[in-house]
Structure 1
Amino acid sequence: MLNFIKNRITNYYKKASIQYIISISFTIVAVVGMIVVGGTLYLRFFNSTEEMVSKNNETIIEQVNINLDSYLRNMMKISDTIYYRAIKKADMAIENIDMEMDLIYEANKDNLISITLFSEYGEIIASYPLEQLKSNIDPRENEWFQNAKNRKENLHFSTPHVQNLFYDPNYKYTWVVSLSRAVEINKNGKMSSGVLLVDMNFSGIEQICKNVEMSKNGYVYLIDRDGEIIYHPRQQLIYSNLVKENNYEAAKYEDGNHMEDFQGNKRLVTVKTVGYTGWKLVAISPISDITADYHEFRVFAIFIMFFAIFVLISINMFVSSKIANPIKALENAVNDFEDGVVNLNIPENGSYEVQHLAKAIKSMVNQMNLLMENVMKEQEAKRKSELNALQAQINPHFLYNTLDSIIWMIENENYDGAIIMVTSLARFFRISLSKGKNVITVRDELEHARNYLTIQSIRYKNKFTYNIDAEEDTLSLTSIKLIIQPLIENAIYHGMEYMSGDGDILVKSYRNEDDLYIDIIDNGLGMPEEVLDKLLTSKITNQNRRGSGIGLRNVHERIKLYFGEKYGLEIYSEPDEGTTIRIHMPCIEFNSIREEK
């Protein structure tokens, strides 16, 4: 189906005029561009608004946290004052602390419900203003009492609950948050443990969280470390199961902003942990509040986009009509040229660029055939020049060093060694010259390598051994001249020179189906991977003054130039493991090709 639609569109465009194509194409580009720009601006506006709301929520919840922290600190100061200035200084066997409790309560009565000191057995030692426990109440069974006894070094805040310890003469059911701590009580010099309880009026916490200005449907609620709700603006509805809140999941959130999907509504949730208590402030902002004012912006943006598209379409139609007609005439002339017409009648009208193009086409037609012929000749000449230049780079240092070695042998009356070196040198240069041929047999190329190895093994006083292993059916195949010797030279100078007589070089030729391989293997120092990656790719600016002057990359390029891109050199090496350089060429019988001159 897709191919059918694609073919229909392609055929339609083939039959359409250039004016129509230019108009439609520019219009499509304009429409897509406007949609992309408009969409980008819209998303940017949306993200900016969301980011602004996130920062605003963080600011609000930080302020609430400061107020709540101040409130809790004040309660902690009350607890510290009673403990350190009254309880610790008094001998409870003969003294009481009623006056101190009265003073502290009166100074903070808007935030306090009661202050009570219990013995470790749950008995009241001192209490103000409520003093009489209910008959069926055992303080030791309450969580705040157990927390204080079990973790003596800390202050403990309970979740909100109705004050149910004391008889209240006013019969009020007051919601409180209990602050409890373990204390030491002195009785006649003997220390015993007890629990100090400060019941805070929950309305203070409620007012701090309630007086927060959020978005239209936004709100702040407070939970403990386990996710239990301490304050919520819809607390009664939640307790009645008429409304649900995601408070247990919010308890798992880290401080900061989070996106959540709760009951099908996306919400921005901002969390802040309250110090000392482990409570968490949670600010909720429905995404619908954030996007409530987007409708007007969206309508305005769409109007601007349609207006810009209309203007662009009008401009495209006008410009395309001015361009299309001269180009159409030029197209007809090009069609004639494609049909083989030599003397073209190319109209020179339209804009300056079209006129210039018409003149250029005329000049191109007159010169094309000549240029093509010249290019073919130049490329062939260049290719041959590169081959000849690459294989002609023989370093004279090898010749000088070899002649010096021959002279030294003669002076030391080592005539047999001198004869071997002279003979090998003569054979070496005879094959190197090869009557100007660029290709020789594998047999001759291996013989050339053997002569070179003979000379070098004598020069280096048998620091290495060598062996040439060639399959019989490879000897009559075709090889480029002077490709093995540079690789052996590289193995000697970079692999054998620093060894102490344990060097070994193996040259082996073999075939695999239609491919010829010649491996030069040494057990030298090897190379790391980063060096291998550069050997055949890095540009050579200075030839190796101790090598042949041809180098690995030159051999690689010569093989590619002559046989194609799929052939060339492959290098395998590891530090301290040696190096293998593999020559890859096609299997071509030497007698089946015409020798290059």
Structure 2
Amino acid sequence: MQRFVLQYSHPLKSLSFNKGIENMMGKLFAFNKSIFGRLLATFILLSIIPMSVVGLVSFKVSEKLLDAQVSKSNIDTLEQIDKNISVLLDQVSAIVNIYNMNNELESMLTKSYSNIYDQLLDQAKVENSMLRYSFAFDWLNFQSFLIGQNGLIYTQNYQNNIVDPDRLLSYQWDDYLSHMPDRITWLSTHKSFLKNNEGTNVFTASKLLQTANTNKSYGVFVLSVKEDNLYNIYKNLLNNGKEIFILDSNLNIISHSNRERVGGKMEGEPYVQWLSDNDESYKISTINNEKYLTLYKKISRVDWYIVEKIPMSAIYKDIDVLKSRVFLIAFICILLSLAAALFISRTIAMPLGKLSRRIQTYLLKGNTQSIKSPSSVNEINLLTTEYDNMINKLDRTIGDLVKNQEEKRVAELQALQMQINPHFLYNTLNSIKCLVWVQKTHLIEPTINALVNLLEQTINRSDELISIQDEIDNIDHYIYIQQIRTSHTITMNYKIDEQLMPYKLPKLLLQPIIENAIFHGIEPNKTTGTISVYGSQYRGGIKIEIIDNGIGMSEEDIDRIFNETGNQSSSRFSGIGIRNVDERLKLNFGLQYGLTINSQPGMGTSVTLTLPKVQ
């Protein structure tokens, strides 16, 4: 009888597991939203990303610089190879020219023989002469052949050289050279024409021999040089997988560091298409999934190219070692950065966290409308909300203060305007009475009109701003009264742009300056005086300059006048001083406007006001 055991999981265990997952996800979400989590993530990103970018950019730049440096160095190497090959080819050309200028060969190469004895005798002479030339250039290790018009073949009689006539004559030299009879023609690498050297690779120079007068061909000179002469020039430069080879314009391989490819043809590799673009250059190409730096240079003497192919892995070998070390150092730096980020984040976040908890406690107790729930925002959001509340409250408080100060300033100005000195009125009325005594009754009405108009403009009008024209009228009324009160004659000159007259300025702005010019500049002289008022447009605004010819002031006097809060003399018209004028300009229009005083003792005084255009 089989027994079946049923296993099941308790539903409470599954439920508690799900709750654990939810709690863990909630904590992770809260951590990501907290200032500590964000600071930690930010520090990590700011340390890893720049380090990675700088490292990658540095390696890329280093690779490009290394490519350029290696390319230049190897181009210089190719130039040296070119010079050495040119020396070799010049020696070959010199030998060819020696045969070309040997006039004695013509009779030998065109002579027909009736008996074998004479033929062998002349042939021995020619070949011995060729042997002497070979000894003169023995370091070149060449093979030379003369093909006469008489059908005979001559070669240097040395080491039992046996010519393979079929192979030598298979090139049809007359036809091959007839299109360039005056030049040396170069034949790409091939097998030797000698039977005892059939496996030797040689490259060949050939020249059609012609008579000096008729340019008639009488033979062909063929000179073959072992390809080893080319290989020996560059073989010591081969290392680290480097390949060097020489191609002709038809991509035949004249010499190659891979000895098995000598005499073959270069096909299927991408760089063969570049050779005709420039005399020298370098490119990076991919061959069989491996990158190579390929450099080439055209040989100056012939239509050949020296090509050098270097694996990029060999070039970057040292950089790869450096890269591994840098990655190790970067990994250590990242670990240190993580530790520093953790420490700094905790240092910044812990005080904010404490402040956040205190604010949350306060909000939950008394001001629950500021946040929806303590868990719905992070510390920064909570502090931002309360900061906004504080700023709004400060804005309201500052607004109330500014409004109160403005009202206070207006009230003070109104009070100053109302403070027409009683002594000024007493003196003016007394002057009118004196006019009656001295029988100048015709001046009484103008004096009273001037006083009434002056009081009406300054006291009765509620407008704080009046036109420049109205202010000039007030000055004229004031000057007229002053001339009646005193024995001094004050001359007023106005030079104001007529277009500026409708523009407005604060009431009683110019009158206190005129009054100051009279009391501080003109009256101390006990003589007549002149006050000039200039008005002009200045930098989009208005400039008014008031100049008197009084006694002038020192720097101390100017400072004292600027520090006076009001005119204290009982003889003054009002309590408005120079300092008040400057403050009113700045309060009404901004700190860029105001009043300046220029004066020297005995030189008069100039007061300049700047204000905007107000209509």
TM-score, with length taken from structure 2: 0.47
TM-score, with length taken from structure 1: 0.49
Pick the structure with greater CA Rg: 2
